[in-house]
Each structure stands twice: as C-alpha cells, then as structure tokens.
Chains A and B, each alone.
Chain A
Amino acid sequence: MSSVLYDAPGPRAKRRILVGSLIAAAGAVVVLVLVTIKLDQQGQFESEKWAPLTDPSDPRFPLVWDLLGEGLQNTLIAAAWAMLFSLVIGTLLAVTRVTAAAWYRWAVVGVIEFLRGIPVVIAIFFAARALPELGVDLEPLWFLVIGLTAYNSVIIAEIVRAGINSLPKGQREAAESLGLTRGQTLQLVLLPQAFRIMLPALISQLVVVLKDTSLGFIISYPELVRTAGFIVQNLKNPIQTYLIVAVIFIIVNYALSRLAIFVERRLSRSKKSVAGGPAETIALAESSMAAGGVAGGA
C-alpha cells in the first residue's frame, strides 16, 4: 500500500517490514498470554461467571438475555425519539438562523452556543431534576429524550446550516428569480438538496445519540447499561456482562458507521449530487466527525 509517508517498498524494505510484523505479532501474543494468565488467576474464566451469559442450558440464561434484550430495546427507543425530535428542532433552528433578521439572530446563535458548550450529561441531569420542580412529571424516558434533544438538536442545526451553505449560490438565486418566496426557496429547493448532502453526517450523529442514551443510567432509565448493572449486582460478573454490552454497542454502531460511509460513497458517485463533488461531502463528513467528537458523550 502506498502512502504519503513512504514509497512502495523494495526488497530490503519488504524484509524489514516482515521482521517488524513478526516482532509486533510476537509482542501482541505475549501481551495476550499475560492478560489471559492474569484473568485466569483471578478466576475470570470460571463457568459460574460465564454460564448465565453463554450457556443456553443454564437456568439464568433466558432471564439474563431477556433483560439485555429489553435494555437494548429501551436504548433504541430513546435514541429513535431523540433523533426524531433533534432532526425536527435542529432543522427549525437552522432555518431560523439562516433566515433570521440581524436583530434577533444573536439570540438564536446564543442558544445554540450555550447548548453546544455544556456537557450532554448536564443537559440530561438538568431535565430530570429541574422539570419535576417546575411541575412537569414525566417518565424517565422523556427526561432522557429531552436532555438528548436539547444537546443534539443544536449540533444537527449546525450540520443543516453547513449543508445549506455548501449549496451553490445559483440555487437560491435561481429559485428567487423564479419568484419563490424565501420560505418556498428553503422548502422546495435548498433543504431537499441539503438533506441529501447531510445524510452521512446525520447517520454519524445517530451513532453519537445511541452512545449517549447510555447516560440514562444516571436518571434510572432502564437502558442497556443500566440493565447490565442490574445483572452485575446479582451475578457478580462485571467484566463478562459489560463485555457483552460493549460488543452489542460496537456491532450496532459499527454497522451504522459503515452505512454512513456507504451512503456517502453513493452520493458522491451519483451525477445528480449537487455538492461540488466529493470534496464538499468529505468536508462535511469531517465536520460530522468533529461533531461526533464534540458530542462524543458516553
């Protein structure tokens, strides 16, 4: 493989790479063996710790997996609601920011910057503690969804704004010269095109939301991590249970990330894509990575 860093290797470099590979592989094996010995010494491979998770004949197996399945379901429900609300509110915020008159645009920008600057866990905690004091009593699910929506809608607003701004100026000009109003221009011309460009970034944001639902454990929402905690309390096997939870999250999120990359490739290949070619799409994906970083909560 060629890279900006080094040439295609010749025979000598190939030998060196082979030696390096062997050393690295040997090092990895040594570390793996050491970790395995340590885990074994601490009794982490005992069937008492694994059987409820991996052995279908264990009486606790169906119970444990029922709980995990329920937790995953609750995680997905919370993520779906949060994403839906964030999309709607985020789009409205972006449109307000783009079309706002100067005298109140600062207020919109202020709200966006405020919500972007605070940790998502504070937003969730705030929703769960402050709303009941104000007389709004809801299920924990809705506190989680409100906290996640408050935080993610402003990030989505920024993604949407970047999408609208990346469109060629001629699109707006053409629409306006046809006599469309500003609202019609946005609704019929700009937003549909912007959403196409933003799709990969939006899917990446979904990964962030999904990860952040795990913060529901602080407000007693029974999502995957909290149900796992319940299992750990009873079975005393934190390493094994959280390993399973981590694997579930990694599979779901990895699949979503691949989907984002796939959609991005398709869009940049399609002739109809209005972004000025792959460059813009990549720039957006970068910004989504940054947003992923920004939001990268839990």
Chain B
Amino acid sequence: MGVIFDNFSLYVDGFLTTLKFCAFALVGSLIIGTVIAAFRVSPVPPLRWFGTSWVNVFRNCPLTVVLFFCAFGLPELGINGEYFWFGVLGLVLYTSAFVCEAVRSGINAVPAGQAEAARAVGLTFQQSLSIVIMPQAFRTVVPPLGSVIIAMIKNSAIAGAFGVPGDLFDVGEVLTSAQGLAAVPVLTGVALGYLAITIPVGLLLGLLERKVAIAR
C-alpha cells in the first residue's frame, strides 16, 4: 500500500479530475435526457420518433464507440478541442438515453386517473403538470435515476481509458505502464478512489429515496 501514499498527490489530483469530469457530464446528461424524455412523451409524432431513435441508438451502442466518434470523428469534421470535452460530450450523449428512460418511466408510472382528476377539477395543462404529475413522477424517478448516475460515474473511467488526462483511471495506467509499479496496489488505490465517490453518492441517493418515498 506504500505506493498509494508515495503518489498520494497524484491520486488526489486524479480523484478531483474525475469529480470535475462527472459533474459536467451529470449536468449535461440530466438536461439533455430530460429534453429527450419530453420529446418522447410529446403529442407531436416527429419529436416522439426523434426521441425514440435517440434512445435506441445510444442505449444499444457501446460507450467506447460513442467516444471513438467524439474523439476521432469530430476532428475529421474540423471540430477540434480538448480531449476532456470530447470525453464529456461522449458520456453525456450516452447517459442521456438512460436518463430519458428513467424520467419517462417515472411519468408513465403516474396513474392516468391522477391527470384526469386534475383536468376534471379544472387545472390547466401547466398546473396539472407542475402540481399533480411532476411531484409524483419525481418520487418514482429517484431510484432508477440514482442507478443511472452511479453508472455514469463508473463509466467516466472508460473516458479515462481513452485518455482524458489525469483522471483516476489515467493515474492507474501511468503508474503501472509508464512507471512500471506493481499493478495490485496501484489499481486497488484506483478502485478505492471510485468507491469513495460511488458509495457516498449511493448512500445519499438512498436517503433521498427514503425521504420522497410514498406508499401507493
């Protein structure tokens, strides 16, 4: 375990880079995923088709391939940028499909009678959406969305394997490949770094889940 303490600052930097990377990816995928979910439940057929194909493409395509597109395809089109942002983009596109499905399943889980009752007492579309449907949908969305977020954090390691400089995975790769240190302690440190993010986030989400849970 001495390796971890010898390179502790490297690990801390990697940890912070991973956190930053995940924060950007989280915000992006929540926004895009919600927009796509709105498309999928909208009454306008072309938007629904667009949403459905978006989800089917990104859910069935490996993240690796999405990242390859972002990292090698975009420069071909004359779009250049830092690898960090290509990685964020790839992870956002991929995760948004899962966010969309979580949000959509939440909306669909609200019994139709709720909306019918809301309309029957004369609430407008906006009112029934914001007072009746969304608060109920939110409770159903929390658990699956939580799994999606944790999966996203773990998937950020794949972007690291692609070469997002200095994230936790990259630290592991540098220490084992370039410096030739023993893999077991180095990678155990990397794994602990990820657990230090996923376990607290998981506990937090569990807490939130219990807080918003209702007996139907």
> Interface of A with B (CB < 8 Å)?
1-7, 9, 13, 17, 20-21, 24-25, 28, 38-39, 42, 44, 113-114, 117-122, 125-126, 129-130, 133-134, 207, 211-212, 214-215, 217-218, 225, 228-229, 232, 238-239, 242, 245-246, 249-250, 253-254, 257, 286, 289-298
A118 contacts B195, C-beta separation under 8 Å: yes
Contact partners of A134 in chain B: CB under 8 A: 184
A215 to B155, CA, bound (A): 11
Q: Are B151 and A294 in contact (CB under 8 A)?
A: yes
Which residues of B are found within 8 Å of A291, using beta-carbon distances?
147
Known contacts A4-B108, A5-B115, A42-B77; decide if A250 and B57 are in contact (CB<8 Å). Answer: yes
Q: In the complex the two chains form, is B161's CB within 8 Å of A125's CB?
A: yes
A4 to chain B: which residues have CB within 8 Å?
107-108, 110-112, 114-115, 133
Bound CA span A225–B71, Å: 14
How far is A28 from B64 in the complex, measured between Cα atoms in Å? 27
Question: CA of A232 to CA of B65 in the docked complex: distance in angstroms?
Answer: 13
Cβ–Cβ < 8 Å partners of A9 in chain B:
43
A215, B161: Cβ atoms closer than 8 Å: yes
Q: Which residue numbers of B lie inside 8 Å of A, CB to CB?
A: 41, 43-47, 50, 56-57, 59-65, 68-69, 72-73, 76-78, 94, 98, 101-102, 105, 107-108, 110-112, 114-115, 119, 125, 129, 133, 143-144, 147-148, 150-151, 154-158, 160-161, 169, 172-173, 176, 182-184, 187, 190-191, 194-195, 198-199, 202
**Contact call A225/B172, Cβ cutoff below 8 A:** no
Note all chain A residues with C-beta closer than 8 A to B101.
Answer: 289
> Closest B-chain residue to A249, C-beta based?
B61
Contact A121/B158 with A245-B65, A293-B147 known, Cβ cut-off 8 Å? yes
Given known A-B contacts A118-B191, A239-B73, A293-B98, A28 and B50 have beta carbons under 8 A apart: yes
